[in-house]
Amino acid sequence: MPNRISITFLGTSSGSGPTLSRHCSSLALNLDGEIWLVDCAEGTQLRLVQADISPARVTKIFITHLHVDHVMGLVPLLTTIMFGLEPSNSKSGQRSIDLYGPVGLRQLVRITLQLTGATLAGTFSVHEFLAVQTPVASCPAPISDTRPNEGHGRDIQCDSDGKWKNFQEASGITISAAPLEHRGNSLCWVSISAPGRKLVILGDTSDASSFIGLADDASLLVHEATNAYISPRKLKSSQWDENEKEKLRAKAISRGHSTAEMAGEFAKQIRARRLYLNHFSSMYPDPAWNTDSGLRRKSKKHRERYPDDPKGSENQIMMHAIQDQATEGWSQEGSRAIAATDFMCVEIRGHEVS
């Protein structure tokens, strides 16, 4: 049972990114030094190094869905963690790593490794979640030693309600998953429960209600907020008329995403103790990026879009507005939603859930 649990946001941009200071989706969960990743966008291994997290400490990777902004850093990271010129497997004491994700993940990893001719000094196993719409694995898990480096992944059947409750229980931690409403064929999740703590980390979604029950009383909820009210003159949702709000919400839902207010409303439904927002559109101004020389740089796009904002205050105004909108939806006395930035680290203490 881990004593210390924390999360580090490695990528908080939506698929329209990356930007200078936000990479696409990835998040590291630190369990007493063992690292589990949720999503693995392009550049995740660079973000790990920049966050002083050794890629060698990664033992599990959970993929919420197969959109390119969530998964394209996976094979490069595997080849770094298990760097080797000759294929060898974990029987010789090499590394092993478990990957969890929707149907298609096994095929994606296997084909990419084959086509790129990559070799691994270790073993990976891909566990696919069979859903009502996708009841068959993308390709069979290997039996015995038919494939170098690939272990026998599980094909995990959903329960009668379409969820994967407590599909893994070990070391005092249980993990559950459930499908979320999103564009295309996707699975999103993750609810991780350790004694006294419950973390709910959602992938992209326009409707997280399948998690009600599983996610109740979460000590921490991470929810996307791809869309928000961005008129500089009317940043608070209370300043918008209902018609404008409905239009924005309908636009977000039509693209499989949520507004900041919707994230807050879900936090309220599950009585979350803390709410962190991620998956921001790259049309918002970037947080300033600190260079090695100590200079704070703005992206070209930001400089062009906000020529009168040399200090980057537009970003703070915008993120405060997004936090306000989520907090209004949450409407929980004394609680405030937080807009995550890359490298933000949050510790989850062990006394938060009875």
Tokens representing 33 are 């030094």
Least distance CB 67 / Zn ion (angstroms)? 4
* Nearest distance in Å: CB 320, Zn ion: 26
Q: How far apart are CA 202 and CA 72, in angstroms?
A: 18
User: Can you tell me the distance from the alpha carbon of 312 to that of 47, in angstroms, rounded to the nearest whole number?
Assistant: 22
Min CB(146)–Zn ion separation in Å? 33
To the nearest whole angstrom, how small is the minimum distance from the Cβ of residue 207 to Zn ion? 14
Contacts for 311 with CB less than 8 Å, ≥ 6 apart: none
Nearer to Zn ion, 47 or 182 (CB): 182
Closest to Zn ion by CB, 67 vs 110, is 67
Q: Which two tokens stand for residue 82?
A: 């298990």
Q: Is 207 left (phi over 0), alpha (psi -120 to 50) or beta?
A: beta
Residue 314 touching Zn ion (CB under 5 A): no
Q: Whose Cβ is closer to Zn ion: residue 251's or residue 311's?
A: 251
Q: Which of residues 143-182 bind Zn ion (CB under 5 A)?
A: none
Contact present, 287 and 312 (Cβ < 8 Å): yes
Secondary structure (DSSP) of 265-319: HHHHHTT-S-EEEE-B-TTSPPPPEE-TTS-EE--HHHHHH-TT-TT-HHHHHHH
Q: Which stretch binds Zn ion (CB under 5 A): 79-87, 112-120, 169-177, 200-208?
A: 200-208
Contact window for Zn ion (CB under 5 A) among 157-165, 204-212, 257-265, 286-294 = 204-212
Residues in the chain: 354
What are all long-range contacts of 305-313, with beta carbons under 8 Å and residues at least 24 apart? 309/285, 312/285, 312/286, 312/287, 312/288
Q: Measured from the CB atom, is 14 or 79 closer to Zn ion?
A: 14
Instruction: Give the footprint of Zn ion on residues 49-88 (CB under 5 A).
Output: 67
Q: Which is nearer to Zn ion, 60 or 65 (CB)?
A: 65
Rounded least distance, CB 282 to Zn ion, Å = 14
Q: Of 204, 265, 286, 314, which lies in the binding site for Zn ion, with binding defined by CB under 5 A?
A: 204
Q: Do 5 and 29 form a contact (C-beta atoms < 8 A)?
A: yes
Beta carbon of residue 279, minimum distance to Zn ion (angstroms, whole number): 9
Q: Which is nearer to Zn ion, 54 or 133 (CB)?
A: 133
Q: Which stretch binds Zn ion (CB under 5 A): 52-60, 199-207, 264-272, 281-289?
A: 199-207
Mark residues 12-51: x for contact with Zn ion by CB under 5 A, - for none: ----------------------------------------
**Amino acid identity at 280:** F
Indicate the residue among 168 and 185 with the shorter CB distance to Zn ion. 185
Q: Report the distance separating Cα 53 and Cα 342, nearest Å.
A: 14
Nearer to Zn ion, 67 or 273 (CB): 67
The 3 state secondary structure assigned to 201-261 is ECCCCCECHHHCCCCCCCCEEEEECCECCCCCCCCCHHHCCHHHHHHHHHHHHHCCCCEHH
Least gap, CB of 265 to Zn ion (angstroms): 20
Burial (CB count <10 Å: 0-12, 13-18, 19+), residue 182: buried
Please report how close the Cβ of residue 234 comes to Zn ion at its closest, in angstroms.
28
Region near Zn ion per CB under 5 A, out of 28-36, 201-209, 312-320, 336-344: 201-209
Nearest approach, Cβ of residue 64 and Zn ion (Å): 8
The residues that touch Zn ion, with contacts defined as CB under 5 A, are: 67, 204
